[in-house]
Structure 1
Amino acid sequence: MLKKNSPARHGLNIIIVGCGKVGTTLVQQLCKEGHKITIVDKDPSTVQELTNLYDIMGIIGNGASYSVQIEAGISSADLFIAVTASDELNLLCCTIAKRVGDCSAIARVRTPDYSKEVGYLRDRLGLAMIINPELEAAREAARILYLPTALEVNSFAHGQVEMIKFKIPEGNLLDGMTVAHLGRHITNAVLICVVQRGAELHIPGGDFQLAKGDIISFVCPRRMTRSFLECIGVKTKRVSNTMIIGGGKGAYYLGNQLIQMGISVKIIEINRARCEELSTLLPN
């Protein structure tokens, strides 16, 4: 075990299994927040490198091993995160951690077959969360391609509601309009949450008057987003055709999202067997 002396800190006791890109990023962020981190990885050089860079403990071994988890302090851990390259190993690590310790467990699961069963796996295994970085990245890319005009698009309520941020252009219908007038005469399904005017932020009331250059954030049902923007004269510039280079998991997730949005997708992949597999998974 590699250990570094550190002053007393107030935070969660967190064990991270797997020190690849995701695991390293988690260490960076969680250390900034003042948590006590213990990492577990089979690669001695990776563990040594991270313990030299950050004020954390490092253990070399298999994160699914009972003895390794005991050595890592699973009995007093608040949170257990498994982000190795293997979905099955991550689920096994979390299952053992839940049986041995009294902590919340998070597993990274990237395989499409498992992603379709996230709810079942989470409930049956008692996990706090299952994360899929490729799927989340694909969702974000799909939202941007669906509405390139927007500065930012965030989804809520399982994709049924969106928060859109965009800048009011000169000569737009909203320029000089009050929030109350918008609700009475255009639509009351849109809620303007925040208006950024220069360096100032405003929570607008009904008598607040919008102006060109304002960056507004509004919430509305997803099915009405594009129709509202088109109604006020904002061109949505929706993408109609896409070409994705590479046929990995991210390409599958992104292609699937875009097809559901009615966007044409073409994927270029050097491996013929993977191309045939994708053709079956994404027949459109």
Structure 2
Amino acid sequence: MRKVGEPDIWRLDNQQEHFLVIIDNMASMNLDLLYMATELTGDTSYADIATQQAHKSLKAHVRPDYTTNHVVDFNRDGTVKKCMTHQGYDDGSVWSRGQAWAIYGYAQCALRSKEEMFTTTAAHLADKFVELLPPSGVPLWDSSAPQPCPYDASAGTVAARGMQMLYHLLKDTNPPAASYYLTRSFKLVEDIIRECKTAVASLDEAGNVTWGDDGWETILQHSTINGNRHSPRPIMDHGLVYADYYLLEFGNEALKLGLDKGNLKMDVIAKSETVK
């Protein structure tokens, strides 16, 4: 394991010998693409590959305490060569967006595959994510990094969307747990909006944009794409498309749940066992 302070040799794959897999592979545009391929073609081999990879990552990327490894270097025979990070603080730390990708990804795989193990895993990952939140309620870039540590709003919006999926997975079999994850998802987004919302932008008749008093060009500020000190291009505390995209995805799902036009207040939905 690489220790803090050692040079980061961001190892390229040599697929004749070993290959790298990131926890990000669990999220929406990776394994879910394979499930969608099965849905569109009827060929179940795509979904089988996705489910097999999710099981593999469960053993390799998810640690016994339900924190996650960012990168796993696999030998050609599928055994683990090394666990490491590229965007987190160090190899054994808890990179918050990686944890969020895992919540989202396992909840999504559970919806697709109906495997209860994936639902249970997503719930444990979400519980750990909440446990590691600072008092502000906005996730830090890496929960193990020295303080002060910048936020990563994108980790919060990804995780919140994953918790919405947990609500759907659990509402029929475990309504109290479903209500908890829905409530927690909204609390997470509320905290992020309070701490990270940018100033209102405006568009004039000529099509020129004024970005507001703070100059941010995103909906949310305070994300961190990569804070690793050995990265050739560390970028911290900035706007990030992931944060905005998953905030909008979260909002779209909230509308489907009946939160538009004040029809249902958040606390009523969260306590209800019958919302579909």
TM-score (norm 1): 0.28
Is the helix fraction higher in 1 or 2?
2
TM-score (norm 2): 0.28
Is the strand fraction higher in 1 or 2?
1
Structure scoring higher RCO (CA < 8 A, sep ≥ 6) equals 2
Report the structure number with the largest CA radius of gyration. 1
